[in-house]
Structure 1
Amino acid sequence: MRAKGFRRQVYPLVWSRRLEALVAGFVEVGFEEVRDGFARAHEEDEGAAQLCVYRHGSVVVDLWTGQDPESGKTWDVDSLTVLMSVSKGMTATCVHILADRGLLDLDAPVRDYWPEFAAGGKADVAVTDLLAHRGGLSSFDAEAGIGPQELTDWSRCVSALGSMTPLWQPGTAFYYHSLTWGYLAGELIRRVSGKSVGEFLAAEIAEPLGLSLWIGLPESQEDRVVPQFTRRHMPGAAEVEAMLSRMGIDVSARLVRATLATVATRDEGIALLNTREGHAAEVPSGNGIGNARSLARMFAATIGEIDGIRLLTPEAVDRARQPQTEGLGHPAPLDLMPRGNYFANGYELTRPAQLLGDGAFGQVGAGGRIGIAHPETGVALGYTCTNMIGDDTGGPDPRWLPWSDALRAALT
């Protein structure tokens, strides 16, 4: 599936001090500095990247650059890559479509839609608690035996979460549900709609808008995927445990053991996402696959009409981006950790606001991917990359700054 709405002629553009950054695509008049910033950002990047920006329903920036040093695959505007936690933004949009249609009440107990979820003292946990990372299920219990391979087993993961006792009192604190969030939101989608999250995304978002965007990639699209890679050292479970211990955190606590178990799955899990098995499964927290054009187009359709299609009403957008974690800290004993990003009902708020201004919402993914929208300026953007420099729980990726600063200037 190729994205609709792109009929402009593509032409090669070359900038940078040493003429090393070959960038292709186009920008509208007034956005030339965004183009130049994108080129500067990738002068030293050995990977590839795409950037697409909509404003008031029209494409104003559509750029790509780089190559893949690992696989030798070509990289262009139609290339696909794993989107990591940007997948959560795709899944959250599915949730809010159902809420917009009156099929899902965000304030209702999860048990109303998923009766088995009431086990383990979770009878009063609300849908919004799950969406806002307040539900106390930030990791699988260390004893659950769910490693990287088990993440592709939907029934096993959902059953484990349904029977699990929360790691803290839901609603009283928040902590990023890096792996579990997708199963929690995805099972709600399945219970309400009768479709898996990948099926719902395809039927209600990707096909109507003509997007190259999947959770559960068809084999027919496999040749378009360019692998991700990283040269950045990511601390393993033993290093993280030692760091927490130095901070005075009780590493024997159940929450900490569960969190360390998640860290232990990371490297093998990321490797799995570069395989056909990892592409074909539905892991809505991290294995969405797509490109910048499709992310920008999807988020543009959440805040405005794109070729006659609008995904969310203005009321649904306002409900979706209402802050849900301000005033809350992390649960003990991880309350000594910095709070980092704040969340709305399924969307991240902190870094979208840094990129586009207060009121922006969306999701950033490990390695630096972005899918966000800003209703106040009518802007939506998608950014993808193959070199995993950024971190989905930290600050801004240094590659964002040259072009995002220029974008904000162009919008004033």
Structure 2
Amino acid sequence: MSTAKGHCDPAFEAVKQLLSDNVASDTELGACVCVNVDGKNVVDIWDGYIDKDKTIDWQENSIINVWSCSKTVTNLAVLICHDRGLLDVNEPIAKYWPEFAENGKKDIPVKHILSHSTGLAGWENADNVSLEDVCDPTKSTPPLAKQAPWWTPGTASGYHAMNQGHLAGELVRRVTGKTLKQFIAEDIAGPLGADFQLGAVEKDWDRISTLLAPPSLVDTTGASLDPNSVAMRALTNPGGSAEFALGPEWRRGEVGAANGHGNARALVRILSIITRGGEVDGVKLLSPQTIDLIFQEQTNGMDLVLGKPIRFGIGYGLPLPEFVPMIREGRVCFWGGWGGSSIIMDLDRKLTISYVMNKMGAGTVGNPRTEGYINTIYDCVAKMGGERKA
């Protein structure tokens, strides 16, 4: 008997049952899943608990730090700026942020930020940037403008795990006059009625789920132990901390790459703007031409930080079976968050999928539970298609 709450179309009952079974078996502590097909939420369910002692149920309005799923909203902000003519992703970053030209970076285009290929995957050790500093872009963004790339920009991706939002956010600030946090609130989440924010205002702290930490990113990426490697420099200066993410500095901060707070419903509401041609319920944020930019391949090969083959378009990952087998081929873009959260935009099937959880697994773009939900959802979609044809 399923215990998951919320709305679930009968055709997706298997997804609801899987979530309930995972909670019952302690595979999950608490989680939510949302699926939008052709503009309609056919799945919007949640189950489990937001605290490790299992005393507080996961509610309809529970939210959680979604880690790198934050990047999907941050990069959307840059694409919206492109669409409005405030910047051009093909133009140099330094055109909008002149200080960025230092140390041979004057020709690096904006799209390299959105494909993790600027050569700036993190902060130099000499800058001694702390997690507290990362939360304050006014302290941690200027050093990025000064430092030299760690590899030739555009030749490979090197996952900008913690600092992509600083780079993208500074561009948004330069061309709009708004902080990234403000832009997301006023130009994305607000108009769409999405329960998503960078950081979290204090009145919402009581509905934020805890996080059960997985192995560190360094332990799970196969990164070299050489302290001078790109991977170690990117992932350890500073390293991510699930415990720190539950504290006031993180929640009050602006970390566009990692401190977004929301749930699966919120991510689907926002990112379905891509799946649905740039407009959701009368709110138009992108043109079809800007959406096409997402699918222009920028890099395809071994990522210098994650140590895995990754294919990036402009703003999002693109299908590459050897990287994430659960992502289907076609006009599909996606990304995930540390521990297993995921958001997928499948334009071929008019399908947007998100899964968000508090019991974090190993890896950055999915865990075995993620794969289970995604595969089950696609099975249900395939059956729906067969029934319609019949």
| TM-score above 0.5, yes or no | yes
Shift of 1:356: 4.5
Matched, 1:255 2:230: yes
Match of residue 52 from structure 1 = 34
Q: What is the root-mean-square deviation of aligned Cα atoms in Å? A: 2.4
> CA–CA distance in 1 between the matches of 2:372 and 2:196?
27
Match of residue 321 from structure 1 = 295
Q: Which one-letter code corresponds to 1:94 in the other structure? A: A
Match of residue 285 from structure 1 = 257
Match of 2:355 among 353, 367, 383: 383
> CA–CA distance in 1 between the matches of 2:289 and 2:325?
20
SS of 2:281's equivalent? coil
Match of residue 373 from structure 1 = 345
> CA–CA distance in 1 between the matches of 2:227 and 2:9?
56
Matched, 1:62 2:31: no
> CA–CA distance in 2 between the matches of 1:236 and 1:342?
21
For structure 1, the 5+ residue unaligned runs are: 1-13, 16-21, 246-250
C-alpha distance 352-197 of structure 1, shift in aligned 2 (>3 A): farther
In the alignment, is the contact (CA less than 8 A) between 2:344 and 2:353 conserved in 1?
Answer: yes
> CA–CA distance in 2 between the matches of 1:193 and 1:60?
36
Match of residue 197 from structure 1 = 180
C-alpha distance 266-316 of structure 1, shift in aligned 2 (>3 A): same
Match of residue 344 from structure 1 = 313
Shift of 1:235: 6.8
SS of 1:121's equivalent? coil
Match of 2:281 among 299, 307, 311: 307
Shift of 1:260: 5.5
> CA–CA distance in 2 between the matches of 1:252 and 1:154?
25
Matched, 1:95 2:78: yes
Question: Where in structure 2 are the equivalents of 1:1-400 lying within 5 Å?
Answer: 14-15=1-2, 22-42=3-23, 43-70=25-52, 72-230=55-213, 232-234=214-216, 244=224, 251=226, 253=228, 255=230, 258-259=233-234, 261-262=236-237, 265-267=239-241, 270-304=242-276, 305-326=279-300, 328-330=301-303, 338-350=307-319, 354-392=326-364, 396-400=366-370
Shift of 1:271: 1.9
In the alignment, is the contact (CA less than 8 A) between 2:123 and 2:233 conserved in 1?
Answer: yes
Match of residue 386 from structure 2 = none
> CA–CA distance in 2 between the matches of 1:254 and 1:306?
43
Shift of 1:50: 0.3
C-alpha distance 254-280 of structure 1, shift in aligned 2 (>3 A): same
Aligned residues: 375
TM-score (norm 2): 0.89
Q: Which one-letter code corresponds to 1:52 in the other structure? A: C
> CA–CA distance in 1 between the matches of 2:197 and 2:151?
33
Shift of 1:258: 2.1
> CA–CA distance in 2 between the matches of 1:226 and 1:257?
29
In the alignment, is the contact (CA less than 8 A) between 1:303 and 1:312 conserved in 2?
Answer: no
Q: Which one-letter code corresponds to 2:316 in the other structure? A: Y
> CA–CA distance in 1 between the matches of 2:239 and 2:227?
18
Identity, % of aligned positions = 29
